[in-house]
Chain A
């Protein structure tokens, strides 16, 4: 099931080639945020890196960026309440724990996540990030399509 805006009340509910306009608009905002951070202070908006470096070394700008993400999402949820939903069943405690462990370990070992390698790395035309994105996308698709069903995670 997909996230939905009410088509009768919002133009962003429309689609282009099966892609919802709000996802395109949201993606542009994400890209603009990453570009803004780089132009303003020269930092890469890689959330896993900022999160773990912030935990280890601190840095006011890191914490403010992370707090901003939470507040910005809250603001978005206030303006677009119908987008604030989780449309998949709760996968259960152990799946949440193992997925968290894997994401934490993997993003540290692999040097980035969807934002650092995806949005910023691809934006900087980094071959290393392109490899990273291809690997985590392939692993994500395999896991969600096959492994998750083998494990009997509610879908």
Chain B
């Protein structure tokens, strides 16, 4: 119960931050990614300040044996820096630069009466499922 409420609170805070930071506006995202026109460093400010808080927070968490509401920290799988990582993030970056949406801001857009994100989210879901089907097929071979 406490864990679920904490997840809801974290989501609320995250969504509020996405809105306040301007990241829910794909125009703001593209004004950073597009170097051919009037460039804005705002997105760097968002990521920079988020990472600053997160570095401090995750370092503090290393001193803890367990989270507040769970018995242990779930083990994080150790994965290599491999082709999947490079190709996957290359494709993600291309998709991000095309319309200015990554998953969080697209979800946030649902609350903002922004109908574009519906098309984007359905396609995103399809893309994820296609990838998982493809990965399963490959591992069967």
Given A27-B50, A41-B7, A64-B4, A69 and B85 touching (CB < 8 A)?
no
Residue of chain B at shortest CB distance from A29: B17
**Bound-state Cα–Cα, A104 to B26, Å:** 17
- Of the candidates A23, A105, A137, A139, the one whose C-beta lies within 8 Å of that of B45 is A23
Whole-angstrom distance between the Cβ of B34 and the nearest chain A Cβ: 4
**Size class of A's contact patch?**
35 or more
Are the CB atoms of A131 and B86 closer together than 8 Å? yes
What residues of B have a CB within 8 angstroms of the CB of A113 in the complex? 92, 102-104
Are the CB atoms of A45 and B14 closer together than 8 Å? yes
- Of the candidates A55, A60, A65, A73, the one whose C-beta lies within 8 Å of that of B108 is A73
What residues of A have a CB within 8 angstroms of the CB of B89 in the complex? 106, 110, 117, 131-133, 135-136, 139
Are the CB atoms of B123 and A100 closer together than 8 Å? yes
What residues of A have a CB within 8 angstroms of the CB of B8 in the complex? 64-65, 67-68
Are the CB atoms of A119 and B50 closer together than 8 Å? yes
Give the contacts of A49-71 with B (CB-CB under 8 A): 51-52, 55, 60-62, 64-71
What residues of B have a CB within 8 angstroms of the CB of A87 in the complex? 25, 27-28, 31
- Of the candidates A12, A77, A96, A139, the one whose C-beta lies within 8 Å of that of B93 is A139
Are the CB atoms of B11 and A72 closer together than 8 Å? yes
Give the contacts of B109-125 with A (CB-CB under 8 A): 109-112, 114, 116, 119-125
Are the CB atoms of B6 and A36 closer together than 8 Å? yes
Interface residues of B (CB under 8 A from A): 2-28, 30-31, 33-38, 40-58, 60-61, 64, 66-70, 72-74, 76, 79-81, 84-104, 106-112, 114, 116, 119-132, 135
Can you name 15 extra interface pairs (CB under 8 A) apart from A61-B3, A64-B7, A73-B19? A17-B41, A30-B46, A47-B104, A61-B4, A73-B24, A73-B109, A76-B17, A88-B26, A100-B124, A104-B123, A131-B81, A138-B93, A141-B34, A142-B94, A145-B34
